[in-house]
Structure 1
Amino acid sequence: MPLDAFIQARAALRSRNLLAQETLETRQRARLGGFFYPVAVALTFIAGGPGHGVAAMVATAAFVALALLRVAVRAPASSDEAASLHGLRKIWSVVLATTIAWGIFSVWASAKLPEPAPLVALLFSGAFGMAVAHTLCMRRLPAVLAIASVMLPSLVLLWRDVAPSVAGMWAVYTAYMLLVMRRSHGEYRTRLELEEDLRQQRDLFEKQSRIDGLTGLANRREFADTLARGVERAGQRAVSLLIMDIDHFKRINDSLGHHAGDACLVAVANRLRQHFASDGDLCVRLGGEEFGVVMEADGAAACVRGERFRHDLERVPLPLPEGGQAAVTVSIGCGAFDPGRHADGDALYRDVDAALYRAKVGGRNRVEAVPAAAESLQATAPAEA
């Protein structure tokens, strides 16, 4: 993939990656906090003393079920935006159901349980509100609703049953939580975006280190790694190599200029992509006017495809800047990895490079195969041409 196309593709993925990461982190943080609610319910009943065993079991079981729901919600298997949004909504639905249930429970505890149970419920309401402000700050609106769910019922009770001044203090505390949540949200988004930018920058550097800047084809580093992997799998899949050189490329540079020469290289690279676009094909610029193709094919098929490319390149001139054209031909060496002949990928490369040399010496604009594939080439090349 050319570098510009790679950059555009990464830009398109950025928002989806951010959303997928947010969904994953929201799920992880929600799972951690879910089981504190049944503990808080149990402690509230303990503080209220005996006499509410059935209510304690029902309420505790309900909050345990909500905590288990947080665990049951799965993160999407892919970074698809729709799947991530769906997963995020499910997580926040359970979180909001839990905070609303706690708000209802705190009102019930204040009305039905003796002291100090209402005070315990009040303290837990403050703790849960602050926990949301700090740990579930990824989305502002759901976080505000969650904080309001646990804090506003207590505010109403304090206003009605204690004193407006105490309720005012609770309101200030709630406002402080909202400010903390807002700041935590900003810090979270900054960190999330920074981490994604760093990942993209790392991927971009990795991509840049493996492609040719002019043509967008793979470079020698990627070529060497791909050839080595192909040789390792040679027992299961055939691997072949083409090495080609543009004939008399210096004449193009000397007569038309280096700008035209660069355009010629880009045009050859584009033609390579068109001809070698099968799964398992890797087009490479090895340097200068020399190109290569690693493919999952036997030697006969590789030579046939190389001959087809050579014939098409000879038949259709390449476009040049300002409407010009250049008639270009290539000399090609081809061969397949043979464990009995080649110790490794370097040995195959030397063998195919020698075949390329023979193609040049033999008159250029031709395909020359290593000995293992020579008979196949002679049998098929005239028909392909």
Structure 2
Amino acid sequence: MSERPDIDPTRLQQRRRDLLVQEAVETRQRARLGGWFYAVAAALAFAVTGLEPVYRVAALATVAVLFALACLRVLVPLAAQPDERGALRYLRAIWAVVLANTLVWGAFSAWAQAALPDPAPLIALLFSGAFGMALAHTMCMRTVPSMLTILLVMLPTQAVLWRNVSAGVGAMWLIYTVYMLLVMRRSHREYRTRIELEEELRHQRNLFERQSRLDGLTGLPNRREFSACLERAHRAGTEGAPLSLLILDIDHFKRINDSFGHLAGDACLQAFAQRLQAFFPGEGGELCARLGGEEFGVILPSDGAAAGARAEAFRAALAGSGLAFDGQREPVTVSIGCGGFDPARHADADALYRHADAALYKAKLGGRDRVEYAL
């Protein structure tokens, strides 16, 4: 795998893990198919001998072993969502089976050249060439085991050809083997380039998706994500789960912008978001979000009374300490509307939101720096 020095260590570790998992998934897809052809090829090579009694035991044993190895290539387990350890464990196991598969075939092919009557040696020879080239193209995910599989298929036959047929035929088979290894190396480079590109595209897509759900200034979920979460929470509420909603508005925020500038206003929003998230840290399904401007929302898995008590505690703490931003600490207060889910009144998530928003409006009319409850 090519390293990317421009990627931070956390991203690099995630990249390695994702590539390993993708490699395990693709290796499983490719390994499951090829094993059956070894058993079919051996059966065909024995069939053309007329299955004379002298070959029957060898035929049954060879085909049975190759068939069992084909079954193992399918049965080696891989989780539907493998982690890094599971992917690595699978790769070690499946490559061991594939290497055993090619070892058995290579031994059979060499034995066929030396012991079986025509045309069985030719059939074994043709299948060895086909298997070697198929391995070079399809089982190219890892260089060393891929090379070993090709060599296990090709070299036993090459040794017999060199000794029993002619040095020229043996040399031809050796050249063919080298060509397969070169093809495998090229296939490996193309495979790595492809999966690294696919991984980067997936990462960029996921990053874009995450960014589309977050507010760019505060890092909190944005209104789109808030609405989706509120819909899910409302569905859970209709099934009996407790649910409350807070809508918060920073009091007289325009004064901060007018007095200190918009950069200070942005810093104030960031400091407020940090304070809000620290007070409502997301335990048990809580969600803090920026709804727009100086307005924020909090979804709470609790009843209205408990949510109101927490809202009041947050309001009082903020009023008592203010916010530190732009190199200074300024008094900042907040108005909060609190709405507890009532299935009789809140047929949908929008109804709950409207009630909490009406409570916020009441808090503003009542002098701000206060918590009001939806009626």
- Whether the TM-score (by the shorter chain) exceeds 0.5 is yes
Question: Which residue number in structure 1 is paired with residue 355 of structure 2?
Answer: 351
User: Percent identity at matched positions?
Assistant: 61
SS of the aligned residue for 1:35 comes to helix
Does residue 312 of structure 2 align to residue 311 of structure 1? no
Q: Please identify runs of 4+ aligned residues in structure 1 that moved more than 3 A.
A: 7-12, 76-79
Q: Give the residue type in structure 2 aligned to 1:23.
A: A
Corresponding residue number in structure 2 for 1:234: 237
1:198 matched to which residue of 2? 201
Query: How many angstroms does 1:235 deviate by?
Result: 2.2
d(CA) in 1 for partners of 2:79, 2:89: 9
Shift of the alpha carbon at 1:12? 4.1
One of 146, 149, 156 as aligned partner of 1:143:
146
Aligned to 1:285: 290
* 1: CA distance, partners of 2:345 / 2:31: 60
Alignment root-mean-square deviation, CA? 1.6
**How far is the alpha carbon of 1:11 from its aligned partner?**
5.5
Uncovered stretches (5+) of structure 1, i.e. residues with no partner: 1-6, 372-385
Q: Determine the C-alpha separation between the residues in 1 that align with 2:254 and 2:126.
A: 82
- The C-alpha deviation readout for 1:2-53, integer Å capped at 9, x for no partner, is xxxxx98665422211111110110111110011111111111112332311
Amino acid at match of 1:38: A
Matched with 2:101 is 98
- How does 1:355-366 map onto structure 2 within 5 Å? 355-366=359-370
Residue 247 of structure 2 corresponds to: 243
| Deviation readout 1:244-294 (Å, 9 max, x if unpaired) | 011111222222222221111111111121111212111110011110011
Instruction: Give 3-state SS (helix, strand or coil) of 2:245's partner.
Output: strand
Q: CA deviation at 1:210?
A: 1.1
Look up the match of 1:332: 336
> 2-side partners of 1:67 and 1:38: how far apart?
8
The equivalent residue for 1:320 is 325
Number of the residue aligned with 2:259: 255
Q: TM-score, normalised by structure 2?
A: 0.93
Amino acid at match of 2:56: G
1:316-371 deviations in whole A, cap 9, x for unaligned? 332223x4222221110011121222232112111111111111111211111112
> Aligned residue for 1:342?
346
Please state whether the residue corresponding to 1:67 is helix, strand or coil: helix
Q: Does the 8 Å contact 1:106/1:121 carry over to 2?
A: yes
**2:156 is matched with which residue?**
153
Secondary structure of 2:69's aligned partner: helix
CA distance in 2, matches of 1:179, 1:169: 15
Kindly tell me the number of residue pairs found equivalent between the two proteins: 364
Q: Is the 8 A contact 1:47 1:120 kept in 2?
A: no
In 1, the alpha carbon distance for the partners of 2:119 and 2:139 equals 29
* Residue number in structure 2 paired with 1:26: 27
Distance in 2 separating the partners of 1:313 and 1:176: 74
Q: 2: CA distance between counterparts of 1:249 and 1:39? A: 78
Indicate if the aligned counterparts of 2:43 and 2:59 stay in contact, CA closer than 8 A. yes
**Which runs of structure 2 are paired with 1:174-189 in the superposition (5 Å)?**
174-189=177-192
Q: Which residue of 2 aligns with 1:275?
A: 279
**SS in structure 2 of the partner of residue 48 of structure 1:** coil
1:186-208 Cα deviation digits (max 9, x unpaired): 22112212222222222122112
Residues 1:8 and 1:221: Cα distance change in structure 2 (over 3 Å): farther
> How far apart, in 2, do the equivalents of 1:11 and 1:354 lie?
48
